[in-house]
């Protein structure tokens, strides 16, 4: 089943679907920022968009337009890296969720692709529930699918490195810029050190030298498992919500 996209429907079509029971909206959320030399600035948007469409195709519902702008911090010094203030971003999330409930959506699934958004996504979702009883779940895909990442890419994990490269390859292989990959374009995360901007546009989460795997078949299998794991968890949440009604 192909995922329905909100912006491709007319209001008449949407009303008919909602009258027939459609009640869940999937919202991909990312940011526009540097991702090494070989990944597009929109990496954090394309990955959650692909996951949201997979979830929607399996669980039913509709996919909202991707929120491309988020809270970018350590990579804001690179060309093309854009940001909103945390307050603006949180208000955007809260107001959208409240608006969506006002239009009849009972459940919202926020699929996040950017770590800098997490705190403010959660705050916006919590405030939307507090003010309007909006039922929503925030999914940080790389955290929730950590077990899958560890099995497929035990080394080389990080921002713009193994798992993000594989995920981007699986959802938008046409945007991969393999010829620009620079194995020296990274820094290792060090607790207690915060540089603005980062001195490299890829960030390794561990001390070992990262290795990026460009095997397309492996990337497809990886992303399929990621989507299956996340879909099962979201299904469980939504089913439990339904029992509360």
245 residues of the chain, pLDDT tens digit each:
689 999 999 999 999 999 999 999 999 999 999 999 999 999 999 999 999 999 999 999 999 999 999 999 999 999 999 999 999 999 999 999 999 999 999 999 999 999 999 999 999 999 999 999 999 999 999 999 999 999 999 999 999 999 999 999 999 999 999 999 999 999 999 889 989 999 999 999 999 999 999 999 999 999 999 999 999 999 999 999 999 97
Query: Could you write out the DSSP letters of every residue in 2-14?
Result: PPPBGGGS-HHHH
Asked whether the CA dihedral 50, 178, 30, 232 is positive or negative, the reply is: positive
- Sequence-ordered strand ranges (E) for 158-205: 158-159, 187-188, 203-204
Q: Which structural domains are found in the chain, ordered by start? A: 6-235 (3.40.50.10310)
Q: Would you give the DSSP letter of residue 145?
A: T
Q: How far is the C-alpha of 173 from the C-alpha of 38, rounded, in Å?
A: 12
Q: How far is the C-alpha of 127 from the C-alpha of 132, rounded, in Å?
A: 8
């Amino acid at each position: 089943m192909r995922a329905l996209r909100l912006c491709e429907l007319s209001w008449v079509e949407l009303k008919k679907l909602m009258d027939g029971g459609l009640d869940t909206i999937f919202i991909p959320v990312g940011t526009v920022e540097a991702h090494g030399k070989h990944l597009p600035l929109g990496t954090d948007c394309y990955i959650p968009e692909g996951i949201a469409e997979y979830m929607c195709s399996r669980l039913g519902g509709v996919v909202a337009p991707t929120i491309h702008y988020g809270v970018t911090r350590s990579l804001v010094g690179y060309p093309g890296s854009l940001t909103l203030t945390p307050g603006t971003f949180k208000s955007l999330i809260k107001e959208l969720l409240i608006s969506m409930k006002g239009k009849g959506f009972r459940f919202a699934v926020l699929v996040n692709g950017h770590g800098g958004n997490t705190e403010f996504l959660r705050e916006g979702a919590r405030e939307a529930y507090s003010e309007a009883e909006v039922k929503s779940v925030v999914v940080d895909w790389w955290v929730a699918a950590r077990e899958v990442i560890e099995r497929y890419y035990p080394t080389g994990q990080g921002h713009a490195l193994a798992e993000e490269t594989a995920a981007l390859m699986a959802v938008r292989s046409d945007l991969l810029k393999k010829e620009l990959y620079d194995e020296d374009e990274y820094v290792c995360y060090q607790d207690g050190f915060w540089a603005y901007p980062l001195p490299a546009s890829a960030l390794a989460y561990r001390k070992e030298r990262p290795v990026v795997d460009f095997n397309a078949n492996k990337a497809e299998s990886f992303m399929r498992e990621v989507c299956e794991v996340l879909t099962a968890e979201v299904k469980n949440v939504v089913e439990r919500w339904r029992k509360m009604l």
